[in-house]
Amino acid sequence: MSKTIILIHGAWLNSASWDGVKRRYEAAGHRVLAPDWPHDDRPPAELRRAPDPALAQLGQREIVDHYARIIADQPEVPILIGHSLGGVIVQHLLDRGLGVSGVSINPAPTPGVPIHPHALRSALPVFLDPLSWRKSKVMTRDFFRTRFAQTAPAGQHDALYDRYIVPTPGRVYWNGVVRPMKIRWDNPVRPPLLMIGGELDLIADASMTRAIYEKQRRAPSRTDLRIFSGRSHWTCLDEGWEEVADAALNWAVSNARAATARAAAQVA
């Protein structure tokens, strides 16, 4: 059984968002990596103040290839767990046959599945900026308070924003609609996958998570769905995050496929 876990963050956050989950999994005896996206590997305050200009040119394919190379460097095939766009990245990596199992938490819009109303509304600040394809964007505090982390305790939103929110390339949004990377839904080599959604998610509708699950379950490997009631997109940092983290890990460990050889990354 693989004891290595790779955590993959989504847009607007970097690896700092996994700190609690990483410590919890390590305390359970796992070796845990939470690599940043390229150009995202500094404290959030520094990234907001002076984002790397190269970040604006980063697309989904480069992010997937980045994690594929990290997987190839591991001494054993890892469990993959991703949140939001990280949950889409996990699906692409599994589609390449990488990982012993995967969990996609609150997955962002995924190619081949229509974008649902909350996800569309939440993407409008990027799509309504005609130059966002070439920019790093910064989430507003109001958007964070009302849509991204609306279940966080009142009065804590500014402190949470300051601690966690980073710029994100508008290109990763456009990559979802302009020549997106495709997923083979009936892929016979895709490892087991758990989809997790949140009832109150205003970034990635629970109904969209269910629709992605219906596509993914065409694969012959085990594919399950769990929707958590009362939870938003902020689920991995919100009160009670431990329940979500434990559900993801327990499923991934229980359903991991045997890995007889280290997977080779398929870098496109």
- Report pLDDT for 259: 58
State the DSSP string of the chain: ---EEEEE--TT--GGGGHHHHHHHHHTT-EEE-PPPTT--S-HHHHHHS--GGGGG--HHHHHHHHHHHHHTSSSPPEEEEETHHHHHHHHHHHTT-SSEEEEESPPP-TTSPPPHHHHHHHHHHHTSTTGGGSEE---HHHIIIIISTTSPTT-HHHHHHHH---EETHHHHTTTSSPPP--TT-TTPPPEEEEEETT-SSS-HHHHHHHHHHHTTSSS-EEEEEETT--TTTTTSTTHHHHHHHHHHHHHHHPPP--SPPPP---
**Tens-digit pLDDT profile for residues 71-96:** 999 999 999 999 999 999 999 999 99
- Report pLDDT for 176: 84
Low-confidence ranges of the chain (pLDDT < 70): 259-268
- Report pLDDT for 133: 92
End-to-end CA distance of the chain: 28
What pTM, to 2 d.p., does this model score? 0.95
* Residue 16 phi, psi (nearest 5): -55, -25
Q: What is the CA radius of gyration of the chain?
A: 17
Do residues 267 and 92 make contact, with C-beta atoms less than 8 angstroms apart?
A: no
> With the C-alpha atoms ordered 135, 36, 21, 69, is the resulting torsion angle positive or negative?
positive
- Report pLDDT for 130: 85
**Tens-digit pLDDT profile for residues 187-202:** 999 999 999 999 999 9
Percent of the chain residues past pLDDT 90, beyond the cut: 92
- Report pLDDT for 178: 82
The per-residue pLDDT of the chain, averaged, comes to 94
